[in-house]
Amino acid sequence: MGVKERREREREQRKSQILDTARTLLLEKGLNATSINQIAKRSELSVGSIYFYFKDKEELFAALQVEGLELLYQTILRTVDQEALPEEKIRSIALAYLHFSEEHKNYFDIINYFLTSPKTIFPPDLKNKIDSHGNASILTLTSAIREGIEQNNFKPVDPRRQAVILWGVFQGMIQLKKLENTILADIGHRALYMEAVELFLDGLRIRNQ
């Protein structure tokens, strides 16, 4: 039994060793320019070994995406003060996502890539894995909204729907960063981002008359 466990452990180590390299290369050269051969050379493993641990290139990069989603989730968890007001929580999550997109640009890019790339249809099991990890972050939003409703601060909306919408807003707004030097030259990106968040909070809030 000890043997089996050790094997399992080693297997996991190898896997993350490969993922480490893949991640680094991804950051350096982008998704398309990162090849299995390069990963093999850099990680001092053989090409064959990589194919032993990952069915194909797609599976490897999907694993990285799961990693990214997990990291995002952890970041959010760490950021959100459980004692804070629902509004504050939502703001924190928004900022956490923005920070994540800036500080873990590579992860953000890969998440983004699979979200926006026209083709790429994952096999169902992989897809589920990815979705459940993605869902986790959205759930934090859902909870915050539900909480706000329960405390009579938010209108009685469907928390999950609003959470998804907010998530879409985050996503769309962050992407605008690319236009910072042209269309947005005269508008600060971060201020704009937060303005969007406030707008939606405003719509959510129950106004006391």
Write out the residues near DNA by the rule CB under 7 A. Answer: 3, 7, 10-11, 14, 33-38, 45-53, 56-58
- Where helices occur in the chain by DSSP H, the ranges are 2-29, 36-42, 47-53, 57-79, 86-103, 105-116, 124-150, 159-175, 189-204
Residue 41 or residue 160: which is nearer to DNA going by CB?
A: 41
Instruction: Determine which residue in the list 68, 86, 134, 159 makes contact with a copy of itself, applying CB under 8 A.
Output: 134
**Residue recorded with tokens 């985050």:** 170
| Token couple for 141 | 């939003």
The entry of a copy of itself, DNA, none that residue 134 binds, CB within 5 to 8 Å by partner kind? a copy of itself
The entry of DNA, a copy of itself, none that residue 36 binds, CB within 5 to 8 Å by partner kind? DNA
Q: Does 200 bind a copy of itself (CB under 8 A)?
A: yes
The entry of DNA, a copy of itself, none that residue 45 binds, CB within 5 to 8 Å by partner kind? DNA
Coil vs helix vs strand at 154: strand
User: Phi and psi dihedrals of 121, rounded to 5?
Assistant: -110, 115
Tell me the C-alpha distance between 196 and 187, whole Å: 13
On the CB side of 84, how many CA atoms lie within 13 Å of its CA?
15
Q: Which residues bind a copy of itself (CB under 8 A)?
A: 30-33, 105-106, 109, 112-113, 115-119, 127-128, 131, 134-135, 138, 160-161, 164-165, 167-173, 175-176, 178-179, 182-184, 187, 192, 195-196, 199-200, 202-203, 207, 209
